[in-house]
Amino acid sequence: MSIIYLIILAIAVGIFTFAIHKSNTSLAAWLALAVSTVGVGITALLCRIVVRGNDGDVLDQRFDWLPDLGASFATHVNGMSAALCLLASICFVLIILSTINKNIEKPNSFYGLLLLSFAGLIGVFIAWDAMLFYIFWELALIPVYFLCSMWGGENRIKVSFKFFIYTFVGSLLMLIGLIYMYNKTPNHSFSYAAFAQLKDVLTAAEQQGLFWMLFIAFAIKMPIFPLHTWQPATYSQSITPVTMVLSAIMVKMGLFAVVRWLNPILPEAGHTFSTVIMALCVIGIVYASLLAMVQSNIKKLVAYSSIAHIGLMCAALFSFNDIGIIGAGVQMFSHGINIIGMWILVYFIETKFKTKDMNQMGGMAALNPTFAIFLVVITLANVALPLTNGFIGEFMMFNGIFNAKYLNGNTYNVLFTVLAGLGIILGAVYSLGMVQKVAFGDVKDNSLTKENTKFTNFEFVALCIVTILVIIFGFYPQPIIDLVKI
Amino acid sequence: MNIIIASALLGVVLMLSGVFLNHAKGKRTLAIFASIILMVVAVVDVMQNTNNTILHFNGLMATNSFTAKLNAVIAFCSMLYIFLFSNEISKVGLNDAEYFALIFFALTGVFILTSYQNMFMLFLGIEILSIPQYILAGSDKRNVKSNEASLKYFLMGAFSTGFLLMGITLIYGATGTFDVSKMALMGSGEPSTIALLGILFLIVALGFKASAAPFHVWTPDVYDGSPTAFTPFMASIAKVAIFAAFIHLFHASFAGLAGRWHIIIIAIIVLTLLIGNVTAVYQQSVKRMLAYSSIAQAGFLLFAVYSLNEISQKGILLYGASYMLATMSIFAVLIKMKDYTFDGFNGLAKKQPVIAFAAAIALFSLAGIPLTGGFFGKYYMLNGAMQNGMPIWVLIFAVLMAAISVYYYFKVIQAMYFKTSIQDATEPDAVIDVPFKVMLIINTALLILLGIYPTIVTIF
For B18-60, write each residue's pLDDT tens digit: 888 888 888 888 999 999 999 999 988 888 876 778 888 888 8
CA–CA distance, B103 with B7 (Å, rounded to integer): 9
What φ, ψ does residue A127 adopt, rounded to 5°?
-65, 140
pLDDT for the residue A137? 93
| CB-side neighbour CA atoms (13 Å) of A234 | 28
Domain enclosing residue B30, as ranges: 2-458
Cβ–Cβ contact B414 with A under 8 A? yes
Q: How confident is the model at residue B188 (pLDDT cuts 50, 70, 90)?
A: low
CA B115 to chain centre: 16
CA–CA distance, A393 with A424 (Å, rounded to integer): 13
What φ, ψ does residue A61 adopt, rounded to 5°?
-130, 150
CA–CA distance, B297 with B320 (Å, rounded to integer): 10
Instruction: Report whether pLDDT(B375) > 80.
Output: yes
B6 in the Ramachandran plot: left (φ > 0), alpha (ψ -120 to 50) or beta? Answer: alpha
Instruction: Report whether pLDDT(A407) > 90.
Output: no
Higher pLDDT, A217 or B256: A217
Among residues B197, B205, B230, which one has the least CA distance to residue B125?
B205
Cβ–Cβ contact B399 with A under 8 A? yes
As a whole number, the mean pLDDT across chain A is 88
Nearest CA in chain B to A178: B383
> CA gyration radius for chain B?
21
CA–CA distance, B249 with B244 (Å, rounded to integer): 9
Asked whether residue A389 is assigned to any structural domain, the reply reads yes
Asked whether residue A388 is assigned to any structural domain, the reply reads yes
pLDDT for the residue A105? 82
Q: Which of A446-455, B203-212, B316-325 has the lowest mean pLDDT?
A: A446-455
pLDDT digits (tens, 9 = 90+) for A300-315: 999 999 999 999 999 9
pLDDT for the residue A376? 92
Asked whether residue A336 is assigned to any structural domain, the reply reads yes
- Residues 6 or more apart from A316 whose CB is under 8 A from it? A324, A325, A327, A328, A331, A396, A397, A400, A401
CA–CA distance, B200 with B217 (Å, rounded to integer): 19
Asked whether residue A107 is assigned to any structural domain, the reply reads no
Core vs surface per residue B423-444: b (16+ CB within 10 A) or e = eebbeeebeeeeebeebbeebb
Q: What is the DSSP letter of A249?
A: I
Instruction: Report whether pLDDT(B202) > 90.
Output: yes
Asked whether residue A185 is assigned to any structural domain, the reply reads no
Span B195-200, mean pLDDT? 89
Span B217-245, mean pLDDT? 93
pLDDT for the residue B77? 94
Q: How confident is the model at residue B187 (pLDDT cuts 50, 70, 90)?
A: low
Core vs surface per residue A175-205: b (16+ CB within 10 A) or e = bbbbbbbbebbeeebbbbebbeebeeebeee
**B19 burial class (0-12, 13-18, 19+ CB within 10 angstroms)?**
exposed
Nearest CB partner across the interface for B383, out of A169, A172, A179? A179
Q: What is the DSSP letter of A409?
A: S
Nearest CA in chain B to A151: B418
CA–CA distance, A25 with A3 (Å, rounded to integer): 29
> CA gyration radius for chain A?
22
pLDDT digits (tens, 9 = 90+) for B401-448: 999 999 999 999 998 888 887 777 777 767 788 888 999 999 999 999
Asked if B410 lies within 8 A of A135 by C-beta distance, the reply is no
Nearest CA in chain A to B370: A135
Q: What is the DSSP letter of B192?
A: P
pLDDT for the residue B460? 57
Amino acid at A101: N
Among residues B93, B99, B87, B101, which one has the least CA distance to residue B142?
B93
Its sign, for the CA torsion A316, A322, A328, A331, is negative
Q: What is the DSSP letter of A152?
A: B
Could you check whether the bond before residue B428 is cis, i.e. omega within 30 degrees of 0? no
Contact A480, A337 (CB under 8 A): no
Nearest CA in chain B to A169: B403
Packing angle between helix B96-114 and helix B24-48, nearest 10 degrees? 10
CA–CA distance, B455 with B134 (Å, rounded to integer): 36
Please give the full DSSP string across B47-107, using - where no structure is assigned.
HH--SS-EEEGGGTEEE-HHHHHHHHHHHHHHHHHHHHHHHHHHHH-S-HHHHHHHHHHHH
Q: What is the DSSP letter of B430?
A: -
pLDDT for the residue A212? 93
For chain B, the distance separating the N- and C-terminal CA atoms, rounded to the nearest angstrom, is: 18
- Residues 6 or more apart from B131 whose CB is under 8 A from it? none
Alpha helices by DSSP H, B282-309:
286-306
Q: What is the DSSP letter of A2?
A: -
What helix, strand, coil percent values describe chain A, rounded to 5?
75, 5, 20
CA–CA distance, A82 with A42 (Å, rounded to integer): 10
Cβ–Cβ contact A173 with B under 8 A? yes
For chain A, the distance separating the N- and C-terminal CA atoms, rounded to the nearest angstrom, is: 21
Total structural domains within chain B: 1
Cα distances from A405 to residues A257, A282, A408, B346, B394, in angstroms, run 21, 16, 9, 56, 36
Residue B102 CB: number of other CB atoms within 10 A?
23
Asked whether residue A186 is assigned to any structural domain, the reply reads no
ipTM of this complex prediction, to 2 decimal places: 0.89
Nearest CA in chain A to B458: A68
CA–CA distance, A260 with A132 (Å, rounded to integer): 14
pLDDT digits (tens, 9 = 90+) for A102-151: 888 888 889 999 999 999 999 999 999 999 999 999 999 999 999 999 88
Contact B318, B68 (CB under 8 A): no
pLDDT digits (tens, 9 = 90+) for B60-79: 888 888 889 999 999 999 99
Asked whether residue A198 is assigned to any structural domain, the reply reads no
Cβ–Cβ contact A290 with B under 8 A? no
Higher pLDDT, B442 or A50: B442
Cα distances from A486 to residues A81, A83, A197, in angstroms, run 10, 10, 21
pLDDT for the residue A52? 82
- What global pTM score does this model have? 0.92
- Mutation test of the interface with chain B: which of A134, A160, A162, A176, choosing the one with the most B Cβ atoms within 10 A? A176
- Residues 6 or more apart from A13 whose CB is under 8 A from it? A31, A32, A34, A35, A115
Q: Chains A and B: how many Cβ contacts under 8 Å? A: 69
Asked if B418 lies within 8 A of A172 by C-beta distance, the reply is no
Amino acid at A152: G
Alpha helices by DSSP H, A151-266:
156-184, 192-196, 204-221, 230-237, 240-244, 251-257
Cβ–Cβ contact B266 with A under 8 A? no
Question: Strand B61-63 relative to strand A60-66: parallel, antiparallel, unpaired?
Answer: unpaired
CA–CA distance, A207 with A202 (Å, rounded to integer): 6
Nearest CA in chain B to A173: B396
What φ, ψ does residue A94 adopt, rounded to 5°?
-65, -40
Domain enclosing residue A441, as ranges: 266-486
Total structural domains within chain A: 1
What φ, ψ does residue B112 adopt, rounded to 5°?
-70, -40
Asked if B403 lies within 8 A of A149 by C-beta distance, the reply is no
- Mutation test of the interface with chain B: which of A7, A15, A172, choosing the one with the most B Cβ atoms within 10 A? A172
Asked whether residue A406 is assigned to any structural domain, the reply reads yes
Cβ–Cβ contact A146 with B under 8 A? yes
Chain A, window 203-222: residues with a beta carbon less than 8 angstroms from a chain B beta carbon: 209, 213
Chain A residues with CB-CB distance to B399 below 8 A: 172-173, 175-176
CA–CA distance, A95 with A97 (Å, rounded to integer): 5
Instruction: Report whether pLDDT(B127) > 60.
Output: yes
pLDDT for the residue A341? 93
CA–CA distance, B252 with B231 (Å, rounded to integer): 31
Strands (E), B274-377: none
Q: How confident is the model at residue A51 (pLDDT cuts 50, 70, 90)?
A: confident
CA angle A249/A255/A259 to nearest 5° reads: 130
Q: How confident is the model at residue A62 (pLDDT cuts 50, 70, 90)?
A: confident
Question: Strand A71-76 relative to strand A60-66: parallel, antiparallel, unpaired?
Answer: antiparallel
Chain B residues with CB-CB distance to A15 below 8 A: none
Among residues B269, B295, B416, B441, which one has the least CA distance to residue B346?
B416
Cβ–Cβ contact B387 with A under 8 A? yes
CA–CA distance, A419 with A290 (Å, rounded to integer): 12
pLDDT for the residue A1? 60
As a whole number, the mean pLDDT across chain B is 89
Cβ–Cβ contact A150 with B under 8 A? yes
- Residues 6 or more apart from B120 whose CB is under 8 A from it? B60, B168, B178
